[in-house]
Structure 1
Amino acid sequence: MDNFFFDFDNTLADSSNVAVVATQQAYVAKGLVAPTREAIVGYMGVPIEVSFAQMATVPLSTPELEALFTEFRQQYQRAERTGITVFEGIPATITTLNARGKRLYVVSSKHSTPLQRNLDQVGLGQSFAAICGSDRVAHYKPAPDGILDLMARFDLDPQHSVMIGDAKYDIRMGHNAGVATAGAMWGAADPASVKAEKPTYLLDTPAALLEL
C-alpha cells in the first residue's frame, strides 16, 4: 500500500474516556439525561451532528442541539488536556511509514481544528500530508466523502490505498470509497461489529501496518 488513511479517535490515540465524560457532562449541563457509556461508545465514529440527537431522550430543536454541541466541545477541550494518549506503537509505525515514502492522511468525524490540535497534543501534528475533518465534507461517515476528498486533492490511486479505523463506520467508509480497509483492533470498543464489516485486514497491533 502507498496511501494510508487513518481515523484518529481510538485508532491513532485513545480518547474514549474523554469522549464519554465530555458527552455526559454536556447533556447534564443542558438539563438532559446523560447517555450511558455503552450508548456513547456505540456511536463513536459518528459525528456529534448525527449522534447527539439520537442519544437524547427528548426531541431537540436546532438551537438546542447547537447549544449542546458547543457545550460538548468546551467540555472536551478541558478533558483532552490530560485524557488523550497515543497508542503504543503508533509513533514508531508512523515514522517508519513516512521514512518509506508512504503518504499518510487522517480522516475524522472531528472538525479539522480540534483534530489538528489533538494531533499536535500527542506528537503527531507534523506526521501527515493532510487531514480531513467532518467540516470539510457534505456527508459524514460512513459516506466516503472524506477519503474521496483527499484522493481528489492529491491524485491518489484507490487500488493502492487503505482506510484504517477502529469502528464499523470507518470500515464502511473505506468500502464505500473503493479502497482496502483495515480494522484497528487495538482500539476497537466493539471488535465483533468491526469484523462483521469484513475488512480487508484485521490488525492486532499498529506495527502490522508495516506489512501492508
Structure 2
Amino acid sequence: MQNFFFDFDSTLADTKRVAVVATQQAFLTKGLTAPAANVVVSYMGVPIEVSFAKMADRPLTPADLEPLFQEFRRQYALADGEIQPFDGMLDTLAALKTAGKRLFVVSSKHSTPLRRNLAQIGMETTFEALCGSDMVAHYKPAPDGILNLLDRFELDPAQSVMIGDAIYDIQMGQNAHVATAGALWGAADPTAVKNQQPTYLLRHPKQLLII
C-alpha cells in the first residue's frame, strides 16, 4: 500500500471518554435524556448530524439539533486536552512517512476541530491532507471522503487502504473500492469489524508497516 487513509476517533487517538462525556453533557444541558455510554460509543464514527437525532429521547427538528451540536462542540473542546494517540501510533506514522507513504485523514468530525485535535496530539504536520464531515455531500459509510482525496491527489485506488476502528470505516473503504484495515486496538465492537471482512485485521499500529 502507498496511500493510507486514517479515521481519527479510536483509530489515531483514544477519544471514547471525551466523546461520551461531551455528548452526555450536551444532551443534559439541552433538556434531553443523556444517552448511555455504550450507546454513544456505538455511534462513534457516525457524524453527530446523524447520530444525535437517533440518540434523542424524542423527535428533534433541525432547529432543535443545531444548538445541541454547538453545545457538544463546546463541551468537547473543554475536555479534548485529554485525547492521546494510541501507543506506537506516532512512531508508526513517522516510519510510514520515512518510507515515502502518503498519509491522509478521513473523519466524521468537522474539519475545524479535527485540525485542532491533530495539533494537540502532535500530528499537525503528519498528514498531507484531511477530509472532514463538512467537506462531503454524503457521510460514512458513503465513499465520498475517500473519493474526495483520491480525486484531489490523483491517487491509485489499488494502492490505497482505509484504516478504521468501526464498521462504517470499513464499509466506506469497500464502497470506494480500496483496501481496508480494521484497527482492532480501538474498536468498540471487534467482532462486528471482523464480520465486515476488511482486507486486513490489525491488532497494533506497527502492523501498518507490513501491509
TM-score above 0.5, yes or no: yes
Q: Which range, TM-score by smaller chain?
A: over 0.9
What amino acid does structure 2 have at the position aligned with 1:130?
A
Equivalent residue, structure 1, for 2:96 = 97
What amino acid does structure 2 have at the position aligned with 1:79?
A
Distance 1:27 1:129 in 2: 35
Distance 2:124 2:8 in 1: 12
Equivalent residue, structure 2, for 1:151 = 150
Distance 1:84 1:99 in 2: 25
Equivalent residue, structure 2, for 1:201 = 200
The within-5 A match list for 1:1-212 is: 1-81=1-81, 83-212=82-211
TM-fit CA distance, 1:61: 1.2
TM-fit CA distance, 1:95: 0.3
Distance 1:116 1:70 in 2: 17
TM-fit CA distance, 1:196: 1.0
Give secondary structure in 2 for the equivalent of 1:162: strand
Distance 2:141 2:119 in 1: 26
What amino acid does structure 1 have at the position aligned with 2:113?
P
TM-score by length of 1: 0.99
TM-fit CA distance, 1:167: 0.4
Once the two structures are superposed, residues 99-153 of structure 1 have per-residue CA deviations (whole angstroms, 9 ceiling, x without a partner) of: 0110000000001110010000000110000000000000000000000000000
Distance 1:9 1:187 in 2: 8
Number of equivalences = 211
Unaligned runs of 5+ in 2: none
What amino acid does structure 2 have at the position aligned with 1:21?
V
How large is the RMSD of aligned CA atoms in angstroms?
Answer: 0.4
Give secondary structure in 1 for the equivalent of 2:104: strand
Distance 1:111 1:25 in 2: 19
TM-fit CA distance, 1:53: 0.1
Distance 1:26 1:202 in 2: 34
Give secondary structure in 1 for the equivalent of 2:38: helix
Once the two structures are superposed, residues 53-92 of structure 1 have per-residue CA deviations (whole angstroms, 9 ceiling, x without a partner) of: 00001011111100100000000000102x2011010000
Give secondary structure in 1 for the equivalent of 2:35: coil
4+ long deviations beyond 6 Å: none
Unaligned runs of 5+ in 1: none
Distance 2:192 2:136 in 1: 25
TM-score by length of 2: 0.99
Distance 1:194 1:98 in 2: 27
